[in-house]
Amino acid sequence: MTNAITIKGLSKRFEKVQALDNVEFNVPEHSIFGLLGPNGAGKTTLFSIIADFLKPDSGYVEVLGIDTREISRLQGRLSILPQDAQFQNNVPILEQFIFFRLLAGSTKSQARDEVLKTFELVGLQSVVKSKIGSLSHGMLKRLGIAQAFLGHPEVILLDEPTSGLDPANARQIRDLIKQIRERTTIIVSSHNMAEIQEMCDHVAILNYGRLMLAGSVHEITLNHREYNLTLSRPLSANEQDCLLALNGVSEINISSQNITDQNSGSKEYTIKLDLSGDNMNQDKLISALLQNILGMGITPRKLNEGRNLEKQFLAVCRTSPVSA
C-alpha cells in the first residue's frame, strides 16, 4: 500500500504545553482518513505542520514523498480547509475564486472554467455572482470545501468540515467528500464519531499530543463489536434473566410489534451484545448465546454486526488532564 502522507517522530511544544509528542503514522493513498481527539489533542497543530504553517521542534512530514519543509514543491498538489475559512465580504465570490486560481498559475480563462466546474460539484452554481454576506452558514461551509477542491489537489486536509451544520447540510458535505475519494487522499478532523466511522476507512486518535491508535477502522473497532439479534418470538421474564446472565449480553430490548401475530400482542426482541477481547473469545460468546436461544426453542431471525468507534475512542482517551 502506497502512503500519501508519512508522519515521523513529530513533536511540537508551546511554552508549557506539549502539543505533539513523537507522533508518527502513515496515511494511505486514496483513503479518507479520520483524525480524532478531544479538544487540545493536537489535531489543528498537526494540520498546521503538514501544511507548513508551523515548524515542528523535531520530526518531519512527507506528503507525496516530498518533505513539507520544501512546501513550494507541493503547490497545487496539497490543499487545506481551515476550521474557520475566511473570505472577502466586498468582492463577488466568483472573482475571489478566479483570483485564487490566477495565483496558482492558471490563465484567466482556465481559472474561470475551473471555478465554475468546482462550484457545480459542490452545488453552488446559483451563488457565483453573490457576495459572502448573503450566504448561509451551510453555504459558507460548502464554499470552503470548494476552495479546498480547486485545482484537483492530490491531498486535501479538512478541519471540522461539518462543524455547526444541520444534519442535511452535513450529509451533503460528507457525500461531497466521498465523491472525490477516487482521485485524492482526504484527511478529515472531526469530533463526530459516527460521521468519521461512516466516512473513513482509516483513523488516528490523538490525546494530549500523543498518538493513541492508528489504523483501519475495521482493525480499530474489532474490540468493540456490537450485535443485534432479532428473535422469532417474545421472551419470558425467566428467559430474559437467563440470557442477561451470559457474558457479553448488555441489553434486551423490545424492538417492534410482531407483524405476523399482531392480535396476540407478542413482541420482537432484540438482544444487544457488547463484546470486548480477542476475536476467538468473541466468537465463542456469540456461539454460546445462539446455543442458549436454540435451547429455549427460539429461532433467531437475523444477526446484525456493528462496530463502535466511539467506545474505542473513549477507551483510549482521557476526557480531562490528570491533576498534579
pLDDT at 280: 62
189, 216, 243: which is the final residue of a domain? 216
**Residues in CB range of 266: below 8 A, 6 or more apart:** 233, 234, 258
Q: Is 232 in the same domain as 180?
A: no
Q: Is the pLDDT of residue 135 over 50?
A: yes
Tell me the pLDDT tens digit for each residue of 69-124: 999 899 889 998 876 667 888 788 888 889 988 887 889 999 999 899 888 888 88
Q: How many domains does the chain have?
A: 2
Q: Is this structure's pTM higher than 0.85?
A: no
**Dihedral angle over CA of 40, 42, 45, 47, nearest 10:** -120
Q: Is the pLDDT of residue 254 over 80?
A: no
- Domain residues for the domain of 71 are 3-216
Task: Report the alpha-carbon distance of residue 85 to residue 139 in Å, rounded.
Answer: 12
* High-pLDDT (> 90) share of the chain, %: 33
Q: Is 152 in the same domain as 61?
A: yes
Q: Is 122 in the same domain as 7?
A: yes
Domain holding 148: CATH number?
A: 3.40.50.300
Tell me the pLDDT tens digit for each residue of 100-109: 888 878 899 9
Indicate the range of 10-19, 29-38, 296-305 predicted with least confidence: 296-305
- Structural domain includes residue 322: no
Is residue 87 within 8 A of residue 96, CB to CB? The reply is yes
Q: Is 74 in the same domain as 107?
A: yes
Task: Report the alpha-carbon distance of residue 140 to residue 138 in Å, rounded.
Answer: 5
Q: Is 212 in the same domain as 172?
A: yes
Task: Report the alpha-carbon distance of residue 83 to residue 202 in Å, rounded.
Answer: 21
- Average pLDDT over the chain reads 84
pLDDT at 320: 46
pLDDT at 278: 59
Q: Is the pLDDT of residue 304 over 80?
A: no
Q: Looking at this protein, which amino acid is placed at residue 250?
A: S
